[in-house]
Structure 1
């Protein structure tokens, strides 16, 4: 789960590198859509900022609900005794925090969240 301006192509390119860091484990990413069509798309950037601001206020958005569904699907695929490791960066940390509030405590017992941000 990543941040503003981060395209699905970025995710697909980085998934194999993340897999290597986790011993070749499969990576099943959830992409937070960006409105930006290029690095210099100011209109898309402001639309993304508006989305993040809405989430910062605690509003549950379709992206949050999508991540809840994604995490529940991941839990179902690993079974009762499995673990899901979820990595989130920047706005993805915010979306993840909101999604985790929607999950049951029993579901959260099987999920490890690694939240990363740049300083």
Structure 2
């Protein structure tokens, strides 16, 4: 990271049972002097993550229909709730979200510096 980048949040979380380990936790959002460009970059990354989550959810649903996995397992229910949160980020709601407003269940957000 460049030295002029200001960390806005420290996000701590736990990967849920390995299934979604490569998509959780979302990395800390950073912004260079909280510029609009940095916020747009954070939003773009969040939306890319949302799209990936949707793809994975569809893949999991297909695997369940094929009998490969059972999505009623308690460890998967928690992971799927993360997908549901991510899927609520519909394009019509974009203006409600910014790099400083992202939270997921099980995460603690500690404000390090205000933008």
Q: Compute the TM-score of the two structures, normalised by the length of structure 2.
A: 0.34
Between structures 1 and 2, the one with greater helix share: 1
Asked which structure has the greater CA Rg, the reply is 2
